[in-house]
Amino acid sequence: MDKRQQKKRTINGENRRNRKTFGMWFFLVAAIIFILFTVRFSYIAIFKDVQNHNLKSQAAKLYTSSQVIQAKRGTVYDADGNPIATDTSKYTVYAIIDSSYRSASGKALYVTNKKKTAKVLAKYLDLSEAQILKILSPSSKGIFQVQFGTAGSNLSVATMEKIKKANLPGINFTQIPAREYSEGNFASQLLGMTTLKTNTKTGTTQLVGDMGLEGYFNKQLTGTNGYRTVKQDVYGYQLADSSTKGRKVENGDNITTTLNNKVQHQMETLVSKVEKETQAEGITAIVMEAKTGKIVAATQRPNMKSETPSWTNALTQQTFEPGSTMKVLALAAAINSGNFDPNATYTSGTWSLGGGKITDWVTSGWGTITYKEGFYRSSNVGFAHVEQNMGAKTWMKYIRRFGLLKKVNVYGMGNETAGYTTFKGKLEQANTAYGQGIT
């Protein structure tokens, strides 16, 4: 064998050994990788966990649909069962102006005819065609959708349906829960109001009572939201063998008031007339069933419906001096305590007492008159004498028995203010008998 053949054979032998060594190492590496993959997949299959992400829970979320069922807020009724505060929906209109927004079939889902859209919307929104057209044509580029401010918010169901009927491409609505007071200007301070608040944890919106009956009974009226969960496929369809789980919705409780619909409306009309004729800064009026204490009608001006609204209930949250109406209570106390002689006399007009002077509304008075006549003439001096004849301690006892210096605790009304009097000195004590120096 020559040297060339021997060298060639040696090289071929080395190549075979190299290939064999390489094959062994390749097999070993592949086997290790295969074992690692097998262990990893086994771990995932058993523990359903990848980098601290639970695959089972992730899959459950992916193929499970959860829906919150909004609880219906309770209805408030008048004494005859007529609804005066009910649940409804309000709508906000918005317009999509991005021309790339189309359906899967290529149908335009944006505003295609801005002039026509502006003309239709101007019929239902408190905006002119020019104003709407300007909103639909913003100077900035890349804007997907626009809204119409307060003019496009809080739209009624009827208004929303009228706009929808026009079939305007790109015009859509968002729905929000709202409260409807169907009787209009009707005991607004007593009924109160609600505002829309969002739960930061759940992302759900809910009506919350702020004042009046809506605020006082908010917990009872609100109810409890329900929810339901179903398993679905990748296309969003419920799986045939899946069961619906969740919690049943509990609607809010209803409330029936003692308000009489006809009497309340009549009072609202009369009070509005008096307000217009007198330009009064404030008016309160109430009709109560004397034997039971039931409030049949109650209103005030200004109220929540006024041009300059008031957010307090003047009937329970404001104090005032009762004036001459107090004389009825002072007379009742004097008679009940045995300190009133209707035929006794006194000098009317003025009377100096406790370092001050008490004056009748007719300063010259009516001469010497009986206490009976003094009551008829609403004499301040006469009732100052009545209080002095009773004595301050007796009179204060009756003031407290009448419940004048404490809260009435009208059921359903919060933040009530109590009456007050200093009741110090003869003059101040006598003043309370005709309604001054006491609230």
Catalytically annotated residues: 324
Please state, in angstroms and rounded to a whole number, the distance separating the CA atoms of residues 47 and 24. 34
Contact criterion met (CB below 8 Å) for 384 and 434: yes
Three-class SS of residue 177?
A: strand
Contact criterion met (CB below 8 Å) for 172 and 96: yes
Pairing type for strands 49-50 and 53-54 reads antiparallel
Element (H, E) at 263: helix 261-278
Tell me the two tokens of residue 333. Answer: 């106390």
Tell me the two tokens of residue 101. Answer: 């927004």
328: nearest Cα among 397, 286, 284, 383? 383
Helices and strands (H, E) in the chain, number of each type = 15, 18
- Per DSSP (E only), the strands in 233-304 are 245-247, 255-256, 283-288, 295-301
Q: Is the dihedral of CA 157, 161, 162, 168 positive or negative?
A: positive
Nearest 10 degrees: Cα torsion 337, 343, 349, 351: -50
Q: How far is CA 419 from CA 343, 402, 439, in A?
A: 33, 12, 5
Peptide bond into 309 cis (omega under 30): no
Please state, in angstroms and rounded to a whole number, the distance separating the CA atoms of residues 436 and 439. 8
Q: Which residues pair with 300 in a beta bridge?
A: 284
325: nearest Cα among 286, 299, 368, 289? 286
Identity of residue 58: Q
